[in-house]
Amino acid sequence: YYMYYSSMDEDSDDEHGQTMRVAVADCPGGPFRFVKNLLPPFSIDPHMVVTPSGMYLFYCVNEYEAQRVGTVVMCDKLTDPFTMEGKPVCVIRPTLDEEIYQRDRFKKGEHWHTIEGAFYFSKGNTHYLMYSGACHQNPTYFIGYSVAHGDPDADLRTLDWKKFPDDTTYAPLLSKNDFVEGMGHNSVIFDNGTCYIVYHGRDIGDINLPEDARSARIDEMKIDGDVLSVEVTR
């Protein structure tokens, strides 16, 4: 069993020291044993998938030389559970003001954007790549997704990933409503033909909880071609 995770380098005092690592265990309950660093800092939010064409790792890094600087989602192939092929491709990057994590974060006039927490799944020839955008403290924080079409055995790096519905429209699958906020970092599970989305959120109005105190939530998710939809329950 393999675990991919990010942790802070011992000699680092900020978030830029987060390094991707891999650990192994004989069973899912552990104990896990550190094996190696997989990627240099800054690298976070790993999601490994196995498809007919091989193993792939989705993860996030920072782009400092871009029209919209910030955190983006990358994809690379794994030649084995401990080795990256070294041919990463950026599959989702910021395109919206609603994806701004913090304005003037590192220098005046340069707003920092964030796309993170990738989760991949497919249905037939349709591929879905879900993500979280912005900062959980922002009202625009959301779960969105990109769609690509191609054979199930396609190299995931070569697919033509498109944000749904397009790069310029803010149309979150999940975002703040009347009773829950901070909705992000999701996964998807299927059970007897029903699809569920699992994500974190914070109940609005709960004065006994600090702002960062989010809990796991689950709702049914409908899949209709390229369109995903969720009716959030209390």
Per-residue pLDDT reduced to its tens digit, 50-107 = 999 999 999 999 999 999 999 999 999 999 999 999 999 999 999 999 999 999 998 8
Q: What range does the domain containing 179 cover?
A: 43-186
What integer pLDDT is reported at residue 205 of this predicted model? 79
Q: Determine which of 103-112, 116-125, 128-137, 199-208 has the lowest per-residue pLDDT on average.
A: 199-208
At residue 13, the pLDDT reads: 55
Q: What is the mean pLDDT of residues 8-17?
A: 67
Give me the mean pLDDT over the 34-49 stretch: 96
Residue 129 lies in a domain: yes
Q: Which residue has the tokens 């041919």?
A: 87
pLDDT tens-digit map of 100-115 = 999 999 889 899 999 9
- Residue 104 in contact with residue 129, Cβ under 8 Å? no
196 domain residue, yes or no: no
Q: Please indicate whether residue 32 or residue 205 has the higher confidence score (pLDDT).
A: 32
The model's pTM: 0.94
Q: Is 70 inside any structural domain?
A: yes
In a domain, 2, yes or no: no
Give the per-residue pLDDT at 9: 74
Domain CATH for 79: 2.115.10.20
Between CA 145 and CA 73 the distance in angstroms is 12
User: Does 101 map to a domain?
Assistant: yes
Mean pLDDT across the chain, nearest whole number? 94
Instruction: Report pLDDT digits (tens) over 161-213.
Output: 999 999 999 999 999 999 999 999 999 999 999 999 999 999 887 767 676 78
Sequence-distant (6+) residues with CB within 8 A of 60 are: 43, 44, 45, 71, 72, 73, 74, 115, 116, 117, 118
Residue-level pLDDT at 10? 63
3-state secondary structure of 100: strand
Order of strands across the sheet that contains 215-224: 180-191, 194-203, 215-224, 227-230
Total count of domains within the chain: 1
Tell me which residue of 230, 206, 234 sits closest to 130, measured CA to CA. Answer: 230
Determine how β-strand 174-175 pairs with β-strand 162-163: unpaired
Confidence of residue 15 (pLDDT cuts 50, 70, 90): low
In a domain, 160, yes or no: yes
pLDDT of amino acid 213: 81
Q: Is residue 118 part of a domain?
A: yes
